[in-house]
Structure formats: structure tokens, C-alpha cells
């Protein structure tokens, strides 16, 4: 869980919600890992107010997470969540639970619709990782 703890530390630096949003928007400006040509319905995360596309694979027994989103804050949140799974040994990634993400504190700054999307995103990734 060290990646999740690292992100929790990064997010806790900001006392102000607006600063946290600005940080998430800055993260969203980084290149995503899912090419636009692969933004398909089978990769779309349901239950999100914005569109998020996620795909999961493995390379050398480590997870590879590919993602994109059409909204800046959502893309920033997706960046954080996907990075928490990316490059983990497969066995470790399969043991990540939704409750592990509570330390990020994202539930406290996101609207209820975005919280639902966050939960759906984590569910989709954990389900896809379980099938690797």
C-alpha cells in the first residue's frame, strides 16, 4: 500500500480544498496512458458523472493501468487511483481493496456524484485486476 500512502501524503499537504482541486487539475494535465483510439464502451466506467475509460493489463507479472477521462478533476482523481495500481506486482494489486483508498481523503472533497464515480473506478480496476 505504499503508493496509496505516498499519494495520501501528497494530498494532505494542501489544507484548502481549492488547493487540492488545483493539484488534481495539474495532475490531469499530464499525458494519459490510454490512446484516444481505445476509448471504447467496453472500457468506459459506468456510474461516473464524467467519462472515464480504463483498461488493465500485465507486463512481467506487474499490472499496467491505462486510462483517460474527459474532465480535468476527474482525470486528476483517475490519475491518482490508476497510479496506485500501476506497476504493482500482480499478487499485491489483487489484494488492494476499496477501503485502502480512504486514507486519500478524496471523499471529503468530492461531490456525491464524483464519490460514486470514484467507487466505480476502483471497483472496475479491482475486478479487471482479479481477472489477470
In percent, how much of the chain has pLDDT > 70?
99
- Model pTM? 0.93
Rounded-to-integer distance, Cα 78 and Cα 44, Å:
13
Q: Read off the pLDDT of residues 30-55 as tens digits, 9 standing for 90 and up.
A: 999 898 888 999 999 998 788 999 99
pLDDT of residue 110: 86
What integer is the mean pLDDT of 14-39?
91
Rounded-to-integer distance, Cα 106 and Cα 108, Å:
5
Amino acid at each position: 500500500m505504499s503508493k496509496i500512502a505516498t499519494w495520501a501524503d501528497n494530498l494532505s499537504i494542501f489544507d484548502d480544498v481549492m488547493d487540492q482541486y488545483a493539484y488534481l487539475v495539474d495532475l490531469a494535465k499530464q499525458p494519459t496512458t490510454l490512446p484516444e483510439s481505445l476509448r471504447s464502451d467496453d472500457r468506459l466506467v459506468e456510474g461516473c458523472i464524467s467519462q472515464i475509460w480504463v483498461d488493465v493489463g500485465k507486463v512481467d507479472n506487474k499490472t499496467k493501468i491505462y486510462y483517460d477521462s474527459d474532465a480535468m478533476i476527474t482525470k486528476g482523481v483517475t490519475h491518482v487511483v490508476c497510479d496506485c495500481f500501476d506497476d504493482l506486482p500482480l499478487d499485491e494489486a489483487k489484494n488492494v481493496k476499496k477501503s485502502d483508498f480512504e486514507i486519500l481523503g478524496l471523499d471529503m472533497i468530492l461531490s456525491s456524484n464524483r464519490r460514486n464515480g470514484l467507487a466505480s473506478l476502483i471497483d472496475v480496476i479491482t475486478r479487471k485486476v482479479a481477472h489477470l
